[in-house]
Amino acid sequence: MGAVAATGKGARSARLFELLERFPRSVLKSLCRSVGAHVRWDARKDEFLDILWTLEGCWLEDALVKTVTMRDLQALCRNVGFATGGSATALAARLVAAVEDPSERLSRFRPFTEARAFARSLLLSGRSQWSAFTHGRLPAKGRLPDDIPKAPDQKYQNAGWTGWGDFLGTGNPARHHVAYRPFREARAFARSLGLANVKEWKTFCKSKSGNRRVLPSDIPAAPHMVYAGKGWISYGDWLGTGRVHVSQYRYRSYAAACRFVQQLGIRTETEWRAYCRGEIKKHGPRPLDIPSNPQRVYKNAGWTTWGRFLGTNSVHQTKRKFRSFEDARAYVRKQGLKDNKAWRAWSRGRRPADIPGAPDQAYRGRGWTTWGDFLGNGKVYPKRIAKRSFAEARAFVRALGLTSATEFRRAKRAGRIPEVIPLTIFRHPEWKGWADFLGLPTGG
């Protein structure tokens, strides 16, 4: 109410009102009493203002000196942007002079239009960069002047503020204020760009001219979210490329995919992966309706194994059903294989699919003992030689006259110490140290 009335009382009254509005309620109440105005103790701040701004005469300076504390006067001068040094009379005189002189500014901050011009000159991209600038994290942009507020959206809320896009000059309105174009018009704009894929679309959306986005503010950077259920199909449709996301592909049936793949002559899953990556040039690119991961796409639509899919009918070793150990051993013994080398040669070319290539692993715990037993060549590996006792090992080493752990290791590598005495003898539970083990004198 007071602010509206103040505009009709001339420039001085308006400036007086602007100054008084900066005082807390308690100070305004004291000023009213100092000029003899009758006010209720619970009156509102605007009621005090309605009394004071209409007063005529030179009452203000005397009332400020008598009623307002030095601390409050300094705070008010600081808030307006004036110096805070000097006596209470000097501070009051400065404030009164500001009311009387129309060229003075009764605020420490620049008018909105000047502050906006300064902000636009920084070429900041958005509110986050403004925050970084005001906190000194963008030294290349300089420092925030004392007469520019850190929170212009609050300071100029009723003095010209419309949004960060206007204040910083980016032209980006607040998201909740945006009215996007209808889907068909937005899609026509996107297609006119001639972009090839989503990656190029995202790059375009991030591009700027100065600190303004090239993308019009009424075209969303995430159209799949804005236009969901409003005409959106895919980015291929949005950009006009005709491409369809993998989740929307319509694949051939499992049987049709098998017929296509088996014509290629691919033998293993590894070859298939190479083909899908385009590394087997003779076959050309993989059709989009043939999945690169058929084991997932056809999981419940016919898929069994890679052998069936590729037409090799091979089965992974972990899923094979092998002959019993006794039957496999009997069959292998008939082949007359003399050693492991002969086994490997025979296994690569003539081994039946139901006999494992690694029988020592496949039949472990199911009858396996040794290769000599499995091949039937009569060879039996010697049993592990019993290691000497620790005392015997120590006696043997002491006889060598070694004087350090380093000499022990050298003798071991040179073959002077037998295999039954390990290089890690120091881990033996009876170990008492190198001096004891080598027979070296201790102490004294």
pLDDT at 313: 65
Q: Where on the phi/psi map is residue 142: left (φ > 0), alpha (ψ -120 to 50), or beta?
A: left
Residue 276 carries which side chain, given as an amino acid letter?
C
Q: What is the pLDDT of residues 183-235, one digit of tens each?
A: 999 999 999 988 888 899 889 888 877 767 778 878 888 898 888 888 888 88
Nearest CA to 248 out of 302, 291, 298 is that of 291
Q: What is the pLDDT of residues 150-183, one digit of tens each?
A: 888 887 776 778 788 888 887 766 555 668 889 9
* HEC per residue, 87-136: CHHHHHHHHHHHHHCCCCCCCCCCCHHHHHHHHHHCCCCCHHHHHHHHCC
pLDDT at 7: 41
Distance CA 199, CA 209 (A): 20
Distance CA 223, CA 183 (A): 9
CA dist list (Å): 303 to 252, 295, 360:
13, 6, 31
pLDDT at 108: 61
Q: What is the mean pLDDT of the chain?
A: 80
Confidence grade of residue 106 (pLDDT, cut at 50, 70, 90): low
Please compute the mean of the pLDDT values over residues 336-340 and round it to a whole number: 84
Residue with tokens 């296994």: 347
- Ordered by start, the domain boundaries in the chain are 2-100, 112-168, 178-247, 254-314, 323-375, 390-438
Residue with tokens 């212009």: 152
What's the distance, CA 320 to chain centroid?
Answer: 44
Residue 253 carries which side chain, given as an amino acid letter?
S
Q: Where are the beta strands (DSSP E) in 285-395?
A: none
CA dist list (Å): 416 to 127, 402, 433:
79, 11, 21
- What is the enclosing helix (H) or strand (E) of 27? helix 25-34
Distance CA 251, CA 261 (A): 13
pLDDT at 436: 92
Please compute the mean of the pLDDT values over residues 266-288 and round it to a whole number: 82
Distance CA 342, CA 338 (A): 6
Please compute the mean of the pLDDT values over residues 375-388 and round it to a whole number: 55
With vertex at residue 114, the alpha carbon angle to CA 108 and CA 117, rounded to the nearest 5 degrees, is 135
Residue 306 carries which side chain, given as an amino acid letter?
W
Residue 110 carries which side chain, given as an amino acid letter?
R
Please compute the mean of the pLDDT values over residues 338-359 and round it to a whole number: 82
Distance CA 168, CA 63 (A): 43
pTM of the prediction? 0.33
| pLDDT above 60 (res 246) | no
CA dist list (Å): 51 to 28, 36, 132, 263, 417:
10, 11, 44, 98, 111
Contact assessment for residue 189 and residue 181, using Cβ atoms and an 8 Å cutoff: yes
- What is the enclosing helix (H) or strand (E) of 127? helix 127-134
Interaxial angle between packed helices 10-20 and 45-52, expressed in degrees from 0 to 180 and rounded to the nearest 10: 150
pLDDT at 377: 74
Please compute the mean of the pLDDT values over residues 316-330 and round it to a whole number: 79
Nearest CA to 44 out of 58, 26, 62, 61 is that of 26
pLDDT at 6: 41
More confident residue, 224 or 246: 224
Confidence grade of residue 404 (pLDDT, cut at 50, 70, 90): very high
Instruction: Judge residue 368's burial from the number of C-beta atoms within 10 Å of its C-beta, 0-12 exposed, 13-18 middle, 19 or more buried.
Output: middle
pLDDT at 104: 59
Residue 155 carries which side chain, given as an amino acid letter?
K
Distance CA 79, CA 91 (A): 13
